[in-house]
Structure 1
């Protein structure tokens, strides 16, 4: 009997231990389930989305029939060749481009200007009021601390690290870009600027990539913007129409302003044409539009429309004007006609007829005085 009681007590203790272990296991399992419910594991789709957000997938550049595809040898050479000395960071975008852009970017020049102005202001106040020094020193320290803790610097570092593959793709596209038509350069530059706008600060990020073809990218932008501005001016002059309801002096002032813009734009292009065309040839950028046989010639020819309208309106005004301002109006019309004649290199048939009508009025005025 004693042996049976001892055996039964041992069995009961083993059973209690096994029950305790099973209950502990159930508690641990329940805790794991609660933790998984509170912090669920991300699915494979969510992980893919997170990974995709880290780096931008570049869009291929637009292609056209006039785009010159580089040979495999040229592409390999562009990938291998790297300059020994890193070029300076690319300049900020032209003001016209910034004005048309909807994205907001940080401009380091604003900070530099603010610092220079506050530094000068600090020196002046130090001379006049010594008591203000601790406050100004505290302000400078506070600004510096805010700038050091700013997310701007960390965002630039993040772009340099995460967008490396994306920027290398853009570098390859710019290096191998070659065009036959200037309009394709416009499309390419628009695509390039749109891709670069995803960076927090183009200039600050690209300076960490010494292989970035800064000179070629700048030349592409320069050619695209210059051509676009001249093309818009040519369209504005060609579509110019005189509104009879507008006063005579207002119409003449508008035509004179258009002629001023024409001459200034053409003269600026012709002045830098030799050096610019050589640079464009080196980068395989079309430059024929800068010649008199291209867009420059079209601009000069479009000025004849202004001369015709100017002389016609002057002739009409002289025929209906008997005041003492006749001589002044006549001289004004002839002077503008001469100005356009010298600029365009002559008149066409329609402009010659307008000039002959003005000349007849001039002869009649002279004979009337005699």
Structure 2
């Protein structure tokens, strides 16, 4: 206990000065915290968009490349042997004993053609079976210029329309695009059915939206590319479907965060620094999520209301209020850990730790709009340490 009333009044004066200082610094701290959270949120959005874009590009390129390679192999399997036989027969008819001049004419084309074909006696099942592999490799290396040159221009001059024709040929033969067309035709009636369901969907509780979105996703999961297929259906209610998914995703994320906070238990085996960092990290995530929802609440809530999607959960009377209240558990754990540390090691030896506990309690108090009885009791215990320990 303090030795006299003068020391007690000095300490109370210091506590008041501390509280006044906290009040002065609170506005700047809150502004800085909001700015950091906004920057983090924007960075996360940019990162997610870049990752999603790269993933889609990579997947599309792999499918396109695979389809292109498969299309070349299939074409050469069907056409190469016949073209080889036809060329050999025509050469034998025109000139039974080929002379080097024939090879000189063939090498005049650009790019250079494949190696000269073997004589008729060497052609057999083995050579015909290997011909598609040779043609495929050759065409891959030369980008099929010789094939188009022989068909379009016998003197080896590249046609100006070659690049355009080649791109069109790749797209038309792409298995990816073929699958999209196939899905569009095969699931046409079912997608029209889903369109009517999405347009007519109305909900009274956000949990119903979660169930509906899960069902829609399952119904569309068999499509090779949902977005690409649905583009062929102008009546698809994209705005409402995307809003339903957005609402369900945001609500689920907030509920998971609430569950994580309510189930949080301080591990006594963790060091003081580790324990406080875990609690602070949870609180930062909570504030970031709640503040992000509150910033878009007016515009998003109006859109949800227009689309008959529940939006009341975004209010303080709904899930947002529950999340703010759950932060009191974090305040309790934080203050208990600091109180135990101060009592075991001597509170007056670490004024910074006491200040840290008070600052966190104040932050939660402002965020939640106050304390409940249990949190206030724990705060009172922390406060007693500031008035019970002798000054040094």
Corresponding residue number in structure 2 for 1:222 = 246
Segments of 4+ moved more than 6 angstroms: 112-115, 139-143
Which ranges of structure 2 fall in alignment gaps of 5 or more residues? 1-47, 65-139, 145-161
Q: Write the mapping of 1:132-211 to structure 2, written as runs, cut at 5 A.
A: 138=143, 144=167, 148-211=172-235
Q: Paired residue for 2:365, among 309, 332, 341?
A: 341
Cα 1:143–1:264 change in 2 (3 A) is farther
Q: How much has 1:151 moved relative to structure 2?
A: 1.1
**Is the 2:63–2:176 contact (alpha carbons within 8 Å) kept by the matching residues of 1?**
no
- Partners of 2:391 and 2:166 lie apart in 1 by 79
The aligned counterpart of 1:239 is 263
| Cα 1:154/1:249, change in 2 over 3 Å | same
Q: Quick check: 1:255 aligned with 2:283?
A: no
CA offset at residue 107 of structure 1? 3.0
Q: Does 1:368 align with 2:383?
A: no
8 Å CA contact retained: 2:206, 2:309:
yes
Cα offset for 1:309? 0.8
5 Å-filtered alignment, 1:321-340, equals 321-322=345-346, 326-340=350-364
TM-score by length of 1: 0.62
Q: How many residues of Structure 1 are paired with residues of Structure 2 in the alignment? A: 249
**1:296 equivalent in alignment to 2:320:** yes
How far apart in 1 are the matches of 2:195 and 2:301? 23
1:79-158 correspondence runs (5 A): 107-108=56-57, 111=60, 138=143, 144=167, 148-158=172-182
Q: State the distance in 2 between where 1:143 and 1:308 align.
A: 68
Pairwise CA RMSD: 3.1
The whole-number CA distance in structure 1 between the counterparts of 2:381 and 2:193 is: 63
In 1, the alpha carbon distance for the partners of 2:190 and 2:226 equals 13
Higher relative helix content: 2
- 2:11 paired residue number: none
Residue 162 of structure 1, CA deviation: 1.7
Between the aligned partners of 2:265 and 2:62, the Cα distance in structure 1 is 45
Report the secondary structure of 2:391's partner residue.
Answer: helix
